[in-house]
Chains A and B, each alone.
Chain A
Amino acid sequence: MIVKWIRSFALFWYDFVVGDDWRLAIGVVIGLGLTALLAHTTSAAAWWVAPIAVIATLVLSTLLAGRKARKA
């Protein structure tokens, strides 16, 4: 019973975070990670890093889905 519950809980979070394309989660981690690195180790502006990383990931993920659908 407890194992089943833990498995459902883990599956819920996997589906929530990874969803249809794992690249989106990776893009978010990289974008926010680089922003934190730049903000805490240099005096340069860091606000632009996350938008570029996230938009690039979204565009890539969607275009790859479009290409896959065309091939199917």
Chain B
Amino acid sequence: MTTGSLFLFVAVFLACAVEAVEALTIVLAVGLTRGWRAPAYGTGAALLLLAAIVAALGPALKLIPLHIIQLVVGGLLLVFGLQWLRKAMLRAAGIKAKHDEDAIYKKEVAEASSAARKAGAFDSYSFRIAFMGVLLEGLEVAFIVLTFGTTQRNIPLAAIAALAATVVVVAVGFAVHAPLARVPENLLKYAVGLLLTTFGLFWGAEGAGAKWPASDASILVLLAILSAASLGVVYFLKRSQQVPAGQAAAQGLAPEMSQP
């Protein structure tokens, strides 16, 4: 397995695991609260639609010249990855509230419990919630599989990584019958943001006409530089958050928590 293929597998696996955790939280909340029939149909319908999208777009992408795919896909991955990374950095610095699957699960359960339901009728509420949850998270998975797979000319490996991540998350989720709150989701998102940004940079610049000095090994160097730069900013933000809190304490004021 080449460096590129190995990174492809790890990046797609981690990114899809994060999306699968989010989709599972929604499906578990409606399934455990209102029964499994309608959420199962909703999940199945969403998976069928996603399969149709991937089947339609996959072969079409193979017809486009590689450097154009690298430029467009690299640019989109870069924008997508930078947004993930920025959010993860702000969460790590304590500026943005952390993603809490437990809290999301409780909110979904409360909403599912209070939604009206006719006895004997098909539960359209559960169907809709499961369908939308799986479709929206699944679209991100499909995007990652298609972009990574096409650019690396290895859609099967990307699909296997996505499937493996989904199977692992769903198996663990159904085994414990609860949202995967113990999964270090914020840490995973930080890692995925770094990987998406690294691949986006690598492919985007290559598609724009640049030649990387160390070929595929440049991915490792880019990842190291991005990690160092982002961790440096997180450290700086943490420090600068502590200074105003210290000043406030010295003046007898309560420290403020800023979580948009």
Interface residues of A (CB under 8 A from B): 16-17, 19-21, 24-25, 27-29, 31-33, 35-36, 39-40, 45-47, 49-51, 54-55, 57-59, 61-63, 65-66, 69-70, 72
Residues of B in contact with A, size category: 35 or more
Q: Of the 9-residue stretches B41-49, B72-80, B179-187, which lies at the interface with chain A? A: B72-80
Set B79, B208, B236, B241: member contacting A24, Cβ < 8 A: B79
Set A27, A47, A58, A70: member contacting B258, Cβ < 8 A: A70
Residue of A nearest to B205 (CB): A50
Which chain B residues border A35 with CB–CB below 8 Å?
A: 204-205, 208-210
Q: Determine the distance from Cα of A31 to Cα of B80 in the docked complex, in whole angstroms.
A: 15
25 contacts between A and B (CB under 8 A): A20-B83, A24-B79, A24-B83, A27-B82, A28-B78, A32-B74, A32-B75, A35-B208, A39-B211, A40-B209, A45-B210, A46-B211, A47-B212, A54-B82, A54-B201, A58-B229, A58-B230, A62-B86, A62-B89, A62-B230, A65-B86, A65-B95, A66-B240, A69-B258, A72-B258
- A28 x B87 contact (CB < 8 A): no
Residue of A nearest to B89 (CB): A62
Given contacts A59-B233, A66-B95, contact A50 B210 (CB under 8 A): yes
